[in-house]
Each structure stands twice: as C-alpha cells, then as structure tokens.
Amino acid sequence: MSELISLTAAELSEKLSSREVSSVEVTQAHLDRIAEVDGDVHAFLHVSATALKVAAEVDGARNLGARLSPLAGVPVAIKDVLCTRDMPSTAGSRILEGWIPPYDATVVQRLRAAKLVPLGKTNMDEFAMGSSTEHSAFGPTRNPWDLERIPGGSGGGSAAAVAAFETPLALGSDTGGSIRQPAAVTGTVGMKPTYGGVSRYGAIALASSLDQVGPVSRTVLDAALLHDVVGGHDPHDSTSLDRDWPCFADAARAGKASGSLTGVRVGVVRELGGEGFQSGVSSRYAEALDLMAAAGADIVEVSAPSFTYAIAAYYLILPAEASSNLAKFDSVRFGLRVNPPGGGTVEDVMAATREAGFGPEVKRRIILGTYALSAGYYDAYYGSAQKVRTLIQRDFDSAFAKADVLVSPAAPTTAFKLGEKLEDPLAMYLNDVATIPANLAGVPGMGLPMGLAPEDGLPTGIQIMAPAFEDARIYTVGATLEALLEESWGRSLLSHSPRFPLDPLPEIGDARTEGTRK
Ligand code: GLN
C-alpha cells in the first residue's frame, strides 16, 4: 500500500508542486486503495475510467511550466447527487440508474477547471433522504471504523471514502446534516457553507431552501482548500450569493498557527446536549470545551428554545419541497420508464415508474409533503413550520449577539449498527437533531472530530456554527481546535492514523486506546 494515500490534500499539493510525486502516482495509489477496500466499504457507486488520463494531463501541464491551482492533481470524490457529464448521476435512486447528465454541476466544473482529479461518484441515501446511507437503492456504505456500522448519511459514501483513505477530498451536500453527521461518525471534517455560498446548479435538489454543497476531508485546512475551489458566485443559481469571500485556506492556516482562542466567545447551545446524547459523546464534548477554555476562549451558555421544534419543522418543510422537486421524475424526462402490464395512459406509466423507481423513504416523504401542502392543511402544517423557522432564525440572532461561534456535538451518538434504525423513521430522523437548525437558518456549520467515545472506541464530532457569511471564522476556530485536540492526543486522530480494520496503516497503534487524551 502506498503511503501517498495517508497524506492530506495540503501535503499532496506541496509534493505535487515540487514535482516530488506526479498526479498519476497519487491517483494510481488511490485507485489501488479503492480496488483493495471498496468491496467492503462500498463508498463508491462509480469509479471514473478517465482519472489516470486527467492526472496525466495535469502532470503534462505542470511539466510545461503552467501555473496551476494549489489542488491541481489532487484526487477528489463526488457525491452522486452532483451532475457529471462523464459519469452516471443517480442520487442513489433506481429512477436515475445509469443516467448521464448533459452537463456538469457548477462545482464539478470548478473542480475540473482547478485540475483536481475526479475519482468517481459516492454512495448516498436515495435523493439524500436519510442519516445512514442505508436508503441507497444500490446497497449501504459501511463505516471504515467498523464494517457492521453505518457511515452516517446521506453523504455516507463521501465520508467513508475519505475515512478509508480512498480519497483525500470529497464533495457532499447538506440539507439537514448530510455533511456534518457523516463527518461526526467517521472521524472526518465536513463543512456546510452559508446558504448560497456554494452553487447548487447541477445538484439534484432535495429541499431547495435548505440544500448546500460543501467539502469533506480529513483536516480543516483541506476542507478550506476545497471550499476555496468550489465556492463563490454562480449566475446559474438564483440563490447564489454575489459577494467577495475571503480565502478560507488562509483562515484555516491562521487558526492553526495561532493556537490561541483568546477573546473568542464560544456559545454552548443549552438545547443541543444532555438528554439523548451518548455519554461518550458528552464527555468528549466537555473535554473539547475545556481545551478551548484553556486556550483562552470565553465559554458562555446560550439558549435557543425554538431548536426543540427544529426537527418537527424540518420534516414538514423538507417533504413539502422534496415532493415538488421530485415531481420531475415522471418517466418522460429522466431515467427509468416502466410500462404497466397491458399498457395504459401517461398517468399509468408515470405511476408504475414512480412505484418501481422510488424507495420507501422517498415515497414516505412525498406523501408527507403533498399532504402538508394540500389545501386546507397548508396553514396548519407548512405555514406553522415556516413560523418556527423564523423563531429559529431569531434564536440564532440572539445567540450570536452573545457568542462569536456556537458549538454542540455534531451527532447525538457514535455510529450505530446497520439495520438498527432502518425500520424506525423517527429514530433515524433524530440523528440530525444538532445539525438541522443551521440549515433552517442558512448559517454555516462544520463537523470536526473530537476523539473517540470511551465506551465503544468510535469517533465523535463537534459542530461549530457561525453567523451567515462568517464561514472563515469557522475555519479559523476549527483549525485552532483541531490543533489543540491533536496536541492533547499526542498525534492526529485521523489525518494520519485512524484505526482501520481493513488494513491498518504502518506506525499506527490502536486508536481506540491512543485516541484517549494523555
Ligand atoms: N438526514 C436528514 C434527512 O434525512 C438530512 C439529509 C440531508 O442533509 N441531505 O433529511
């Protein structure tokens, strides 16, 4: 196994630009890793047949002296919710099986323009509905830390691919937590940008007022580097923010270098903790808060009473928007078409196609959404949920008056067993209790590893949130906290060395014990 797979994107970037290694070597190492472990992990739905060709082109350009972007030649995996004109884009659904879009999502175009090397498309819950990747029509992804456990969802494929060293970088999408919760349970970093900060053009929509595309990686700096590539205004997306963003990689580097949180007011959200949170998650969280306080942060408790209603509001708003977004899968324009036995009308074909093409969770949400939007119920359900959304936004405003960043555990538990919550939708929905408020308010949030839970040795994650547009603040505080945590562990938790049951990396002990603090 090549040691190239254990390097971060920032490290690869240096070795590539000094020509110590070639992109072909780096890409081949990751393709080998995918061939070696993905049969077990199943992070990928499709592996690109042209990755080595793209890598060779980047090497050629570099050898000719071209000025290349920092991540040129670095491999990246792409969540299958994003349209790619050279690879199938299924959103984890039978109804789009084999569908190859006629265009690239803007974020994919930007990856290509910056000469990253797309490795393939990653598995996800069907249409990004779920917290475990078990709702994928193509079978679940497994958590590299324990193959009997879920990698989170809906972006479990991207998180698992990064955690299993199949790729240093991936793109995800986060409507209610699908970047941050998988990050928490796989020991990776995931960032949901400010709503509108990253283009959604060519992202297969789940709930358009909530969806955001963002980076997945093993370090805060790597997430920032990828965010710098894909972010920024896109005239093709009417919700895209037209503003100047700072360099997020610089923000992360500043945080890493400073090692201090003096003067930073860290707001601990009272409603996101305590009951319902696993003891090892709560104890690691308490330790992370102690570390921040020791580094000079001013830890303040803030209350956000409306967050208690966030899941309830989300499961009205999301299904309502999803039922409308999914209406376009009508057997005529995209993908699957099923003719009912004996023929039938257009409506019959449509019904037979949607019956065969959508899985149970998608059907459940379409039914919920159309019900919530139906005349006579609209005000009682959708209208009330929108009012709750406003209250949540106000809670954020008052919390951010007292704190520069807000923190909470990113997920209430460590990775649960495959099948454990599959038959219980409400138990599944609770996994996003900490992440959903940020989507409802449009504010940015990051999931960051905070150590292993003592009782099961599995990763836990902390969430850091900031006011809208202040993504850079998250990168700075996140990189500082990451450095403090690594110092307290005596080494990096995941950037170099998770316990990985398939093939432990050299010079790594057992992170289940080593991951506990000195
Ligand atoms: N798990 C949440 C849901 O099922 C979030 C999904 C997402 O962020 N795409 O809706």
Distance in Å, CA 40 to ligand 1 centroid: 24
Q: Decide if 191 contacts 476 (C-beta within 8 A).
A: no
Return d(Cα 477, Cα 458) in angstroms, integer: 24
| Structure tokens that stand for 358 in this block | 């959508």
Chain position carrying tokens 């020509």: 19
Q: Which of 178, 199, 323, 408 is catalytic?
A: 178
- Could you give the CA distance from residue 319 to residue 335 in angstroms, rounded to a whole number? 22
The residues with which 405 forms a beta bridge, in sequence order, are 266
Is residue 128 in contact with ligand 1, taking CB distance under 6 Å? yes
pTM (predicted TM-score): 0.95
Which letter does DSSP use for residue 4 in this model?
G
Residue 207 contacts by C-beta under 8 Å, 6 or more apart in sequence? Answer: 175, 317, 318, 320, 321, 322, 325
Helix, strand, or coil (residue 435): coil
Closest CA to 128 of 223, 40, 212, 220: 212
Work out the mean pLDDT of the chain and round it to a whole number: 93
Rounded CA separation 247/488 (Å):
28
Residue 46 has pLDDT above 90, yes or no: yes
- Annotated active-site residue 178? The verdict is yes
Q: Is the pLDDT of residue 489 over 80?
A: no
In sequence order, what are the beta bridge partners of 449? 461
How far apart, in Å, are the Cα atoms of 108 and each of 21, 202, 262, 418, 496?
A: 25, 9, 38, 31, 27
What is the dihedral angle through the alpha carbons of 435, 452, 482, 17, rounded to the nearest 10 degrees?
Answer: -100
pLDDT, tens digit, 9 for 90 and up, residues 121-159: 999 999 999 999 999 999 999 999 999 999 999 999 999
How is the chain split into domains, by residue range? Answer: 3-309+388-496, 310-383
Span 355-406, pLDDT tens digits: 999 999 999 999 999 999 998 888 899 999 999 999 999 999 999 999 999 9
Distances (CA, A) of 90 to 35, 44, 179, 204, 386: 21, 12, 18, 9, 30
Q: Assess whether the C-beta atom of 175 lies below 6 angstroms from ligand 1.
A: yes
pLDDT at res. 495 = 44
Could you name the CATH architecture of 3-309+388-496? Answer: Alpha-Beta Complex (3.90)
pLDDT band at 494 (very low <50, low <70, confident <90, very high): low
The CA distances from residue 450 to 25, 143, 299, in Å, are: 32, 17, 17
Looking only at the bridges linking them, the beta strands covering 298-302 and 189-192 are unpaired
Q: How confident is the model at residue 290 (pLDDT cuts 50, 70, 90)?
A: very high
Q: Is 154 a catalytic site residue?
A: yes
465 secondary structure, DSSP code: E
pLDDT band at residue 35 using 50, 70 and 90 as cut-offs: very high
92 C-beta closer than 6 A to ligand 1: no
Q: Which of 22, 23, 48, 79 is catalytic?
A: 79
The residue ranges of DSSP E strands in 393-481, in sequence order, are 405-409, 445-452, 459-465
Better pLDDT: 26 or 490? 26
365 vs 19: CA distance, rounded Å: 50
Q: pLDDT above 70 covers what percent of the chain?
A: 94
Report whether residue 182 contacts ligand 1, using a CB cutoff of 6 Å. no
335 CA from centroid of ligand 1 (Å)? 23
Residue 175 CA to ligand 1 center (angstroms) comes to 5
Are 500 and 165 in contact by the 8 Å Cβ rule? The answer is yes
Residue 328 appears among annotated catalytic residues: no
Beta bridge partners of 190: 216, 447
In degrees, rounded to 5, the angle at the alpha carbon of residue 203 between the alpha carbons of residues 414 and 32 is 60
Atom of ligand 1 nearest to the CA of 439: 8
Average pLDDT over every residue of 283-298 = 96
Count Cβ neighbours within 10 Å for each residue of 209-239 and write b for 16 or more, e otherwise: bbbbbbbbbbbbbbbbbbbbbbbbebeebee
Ligand 1 mean position to 153 CA, how many Å?
7
**pLDDT per position as a tens digit, 195-218:** 999 999 999 999 999 999 999 999
Residue type at position 20: E
Residue 177 near ligand 1, beta carbon < 6 Å:
yes
Q: Please provide the DSSP assignment of 317-367 as one string.
A: HHHHHHHHHGGG-SSSSSS---PPTT---HHHHHHHHHHHHS-HHHHHHHH
Mean pLDDT of 86-109: 97
